[in-house]
Chain A
Amino acid sequence: GQQLNQSPQSMFIQEGEDVSMNCTSSSIFNTWLWYKQEPGEGPVLLIALYKAGELTSNGRLTAQFGITRKDSFLNISASIPSDVGIYFCAGPGGSQGNLIFGKGTKLSVKP
């Protein structure tokens, strides 16, 4: 079945640093989604990408839909302590209401 491989698994960075994470798949996706989950909460959508090559920003977050449609990247600039959480990439699972998720990148930010 479809799988999303996300890396790195975890990151420990200093406040103010930039962060980069990525997601790859062996199959083509028509949509790439980036979610963030904080402790005790459900995932929250950060950025949605619908077109190959698309580059979209949401504040300090920038995500790109890879040209091959098999990968996507999320960058966070000038990280702050509230960026802490788990970042998931996701894509349509082939049926309504079905999303496939990567295993997540756990981000820790040291003040």
Chain B
Amino acid sequence: KAGVTQTPRYLIKTRGQQVTLSCSPISGHRSVSWYQQTPGQGLQFLFEYFSETQRNKGNFPGRFSGRQFSNSRSEMNVSTLELGDSALYLCASSFSGAWTDTQYFGPGTRLTVL
């Protein structure tokens, strides 16, 4: 069974630009969660999608958004990039997003904002 894939693996952008990251979950998984990982703040929850609907959102500004498609693939978008957005962005998929479901993580997209 293929794991969670994320593209691209690395991105370099400049301040003010926008970026779109993609996540393909494990086949059969309908819940996709996104996390931001930085050295200072650690892993922080961004949002979760299930059946094309955002069910939950973490404490991030509106510049961070996402969507999910009918095949459960998900994208996240960051607009008007700031230097502090430099981070590893991880997505994780699970069957339903329930707390008893295991979340499987992708390798992440390393975003550098210059």
Q: Is the CB of B4 within 8 A of A42?
A: yes
A-B contact count (CB 8 A): 69
Q: Is the CB of A98 within 8 A of B48?
A: yes
Answer whether residue A103 sits at the interface, using C-beta atoms and an 8 A cutoff. yes
Q: Is the CB of A48 within 8 A of B48?
A: no
Binds A, one of B11-19, B79-87, B95-103: B95-103
The dominant DSSP class at the A interface is loop
Q: Is the CB of B107 within 8 A of A97?
A: no
Q: Which residues of chain B have C-beta atoms less than 8 A from A88's C-beta?
A: 43
Q: Please give the number of chain A residues whose Cβ is less than 8 angstroms from any Cβ of chain B in the complex.
A: 25
Answer whether residue A66 sits at the interface, using C-beta atoms and an 8 A cutoff. no
Nearest CB of A to B17, in Å: 25
Q: Which residues of chain A have C-beta atoms less than 8 A from B90's C-beta?
A: 42-43
Q: Which residues of chain B have C-beta atoms less than 8 A from A42's C-beta?
A: 4, 90, 92, 105-108
